[in-house]
A and B are shown apart, each in its own frame.
Chain A
């Protein structure tokens, strides 16, 4: 989506390997989020950030960590990927009372 990009778009990785997903925004929004989308569960919040170096856990944060060293970048790391982390990951930004703007998603498969 305009102003927010995610990379990579697709990734296949092996169980036990570390994986980092990147979210980049050009909107200068304060808030950034990582969600995972799974059938029957909708979108569930993993971690979010309310400023540079300010992050907090969401409802499904176990096995994930995040970092935000610049306003524009929000990284999601799976320290040791497991099959249960196979999912579609969405980054989102907000800050102007217009709701979220979502990235296009990253489809991650852990084999």
Chain B
């Protein structure tokens, strides 16, 4: 069975500082991996996805993620956060973009 673990429930970061959100997955084959962002009271928006190929994936809003098969990880990074990056972030895994399993989410607070 597929599953996702996001070890950090809440992260606080200063505006302009770098951000890294951890994601570990369990899946028997080559996974499809996704990061989504949810602003308060909103639906989820796709940040980036990994299907195959280059293990460093670029997404929207300046985010990137790196797939590391040996560590079963797909960590999300941003070099310099903006106050508008305060949100909840979800990692997801699946066989395709079909029946994804989501992590519990990481809430990011940005302090001035």
Q: How far is the CB of B94 from chain A (nearest CB, A)?
A: 9
- The residue of chain B having its C-beta at the shortest distance from the C-beta of A33 within the complex is B99
Given A31-B98, A45-B99, A94-B98, the answer on whether A100 and B44 have CB atoms closer than 8 Å is yes
B104 interface neighbour in A41, A58, A99, A101, Cβ under 8 Å = A41
A43 in contact (CB, < 8 A): yes
Q: How far is the CB of A8 from chain B (nearest CB, A)?
A: 15
B46 interface neighbour in A40, A98, A105, Cβ under 8 Å = A98
Across-interface contacts of B74 in A (CB, < 8 A): none
B90-A100 in contact (CB<8A): no
Bound-state CA distance A43–B34 (Å) is: 14
Q: How far is the CB of A19 from chain B (nearest CB, A)?
A: 20
Instruction: Mark each residue of chain A from 1 to 31: 1 if its CB lies under 8 Å from any CB of chain B, else 0.
Output: 1000000000000000000000000000001
Across-interface contacts of B98 in A (CB, < 8 A): 31, 94
Q: How many residues of A contact B (CB 8 A)?
A: 25
Instruction: Mark each residue of chain A from 67 to 111: 1 if its CB lies under 8 Å from any CB of chain B, else 0.
Output: 000000000000000000000001000111111111111000000
B63 in contact (CB, < 8 A): no
Bound-state CA distance A42–B90 (Å) is: 8
Q: How many residues of B contact A (CB 8 A)?
A: 24
B43-A43 in contact (CB<8A): no
A98-B99 in contact (CB<8A): no
A34 in contact (CB, < 8 A): no
Q: Could you tell me which A residues sit within 8 Å of B by CB distance?
A: 1, 31, 33, 35, 40-45, 48, 58, 90, 94-105
30 examples of A-B residue contacts, CB within 8 angstroms: A1-B43, A1-B45, A41-B104, A42-B4, A42-B6, A42-B90, A42-B102, A42-B103, A42-B105, A43-B44, A43-B102, A44-B102, A45-B99, A58-B99, A94-B97, A96-B97, A98-B49, A99-B46, A99-B49, A99-B92, A100-B34, A100-B44, A100-B46, A100-B97, A101-B46, A102-B43, A102-B45, A104-B42, A104-B43, A105-B42
User: Which are the 5 A-B pairs with shortest beta-carbon distances?
Assistant: A42-B104, A102-B43, A43-B102, A94-B97, A42-B102
**Contacts A42-B90, A100-B92 given; 4 further ones with Cβ under 8 A?**
A1-B45, A42-B6, A97-B97, A99-B97
